[in-house]
Amino acid sequence: RPQLLIDTDPGVDDALAILMAHAHADVAGLSIAAGNVGIGHTVRNACTLVDLLGAATPVFPGCPGPLVRAPEEDAAFVHGADGFGDVGFPAPAAAPADEAAALALLRLARERPGELTLVALAPLTNLALALRLDPALPARVKRLVVMGGAVTGHGNTDKVPAEFNVGFDPEAAHVVFEAFPHFELVDWEATLRHAFDEDEFDRWLAAGDARAGFFGRVFGTARAFNRRKARRGIIAADALAMAVAIDPSIVTRRESRHVAVELDGRLTRGATVVDWAGRLGRPANADIVLEVDQVRFGAMVRAALGAAGEG
Ligand code: BDR
Ligand code: CA
């Protein structure tokens, strides 16, 4: 089984990705970022998930905000004020570890050289801090899979043609994209191409176990938001990135390009710039995932909800 170290800001689609990770891989830890909502909520939500799963996965609290500039928006309007659909879960029994996320990332990568796949499902603040502390980190991990960016410039933030994770902390994304000679990028537009049919997804939720029951509850605000936006289907960005992290053979189409982050820009701070035409003369750092096998992606999600038989 793959060994994953997940940087995440749960978050509804983060929750689904974390369920998938525990169903299909060994999870070395959850390092927690601020993003969808504040760090207090994202740490607590990660602990709630650990309780649900009955797992011993450590939760490492991360940086409470971006490296440089305070963000203009979070994503509470999608995920709920508490990041988990404002369901009102009781305080979790699991407690976060007494080790900062960036330090835990470095320690675990040192302890298991070449074994861990880093899965970044949140603004890249913790990873950037870790890289600044120890630039040798990329050589110590097996792969880095990032959910982030908007390679054709559509994006999902309000004011800029950017994707939320990169737009929330552009400097952090810049540090990570410059430091890693090679990473896999699952961008926002890929997630739109890999939505699930709502009726089909509801059948999985109805057929699944406690994990499906849980996800059905946290998912309410995000579903309502998508409907207001007239988006079709169930969009789960972090789940798609997780599928790629768990099994890279699921990818059916990819392009290797240099990807950078715009840090200034009158209209484009936080946008990802893909050098499609090779003008920058820089080596490709990113494998951009364009298409995955949707049937296998669905099977991975179903298994994570305890609805594997519901083909
Ligand atoms: C990303 O932003 C967050 O709101 C989601 O959890 C996902 O990581 C999608 O742009
Ligand atoms: Ca996320």
SS3 label, residue 185: strand
| β-bridge partners, 273 | 260
Interval 188-213 mean pLDDT: 96
Cα 233 versus chain centre, distance = 19
Range 179-206 average pLDDT: 96
CB 168 within 8 A of CB 278: no
Ligand 2 centroid to 51 CA: how many Å? 19
Cβ of 42 below 6 Å from ligand 1 = no
- Which pTM was predicted? 0.98
Length of the chain: 311
Q: How far apart are CA 130 and CA 112, in angstroms?
A: 16
Phi, psi of 13 (to 5 degrees): -70, -30
pLDDT band at residue 311 under the 50/70/90 scheme: confident
User: For residue 241, what are the CA distances in angstroms to 17, 91, 104, 126, 273?
Assistant: 8, 29, 22, 18, 20
Please name which ligand lies nearest the alpha carbon of 164.
1
Residue with tokens 């926002």: 188
Q: Is the CB of 165 under 6 A from ligand 1?
A: yes
Separation between Cα atoms, residue 207 and residue 24, nearest integer Å = 19
pLDDT at position 78 is 87
Percent of the chain exceeding pLDDT 70 equals: 100
Question: For residue 11, which atom of ligand 1 is closest to its CA?
Answer: 6
Question: Measuring from atom 10 of ligand 1, which residue has the nearest CA?
Answer: 164
Q: pLDDT tens across 207-246, in order?
A: 999 999 999 999 988 888 888 887 778 999 999 999 999 9
Cβ atoms of residues 291 and 250 within 8 Å: no
Q: Which residue has the higher pLDDT, 154 or 93?
A: 93
DSSP 108-160: HHHHSTTTEEEEE-S-SHHHHHHHHH-TTHHHHSSEEEEE---TTS--SSSSS
**Mean of all residue pLDDT scores within the chain:** 96
Residue pair 239/137 in contact (Cβ under 8 Å)? The answer is: no
From 20, 121, 154, 231, the mutation candidate for ligand 1 (largest count of ligand atoms within 8 A of CB) is: 121
Tokens 């689904």 belong to residue: 16
Contact predicate 37/106, CB 8 Å: no
Q: Is the ipTM of this complex over 0.85?
A: yes
**Burial of residue 264, with CB atoms counted within 10 A of its CB: 0-12 exposed, 13-18 middle, 19 or more buried:** exposed
Strands 26-32 and 3-8: parallel
Which candidate, 2, 24, 16, places its Cα nearest to that of 194?
16
32 has pLDDT over 90:
yes
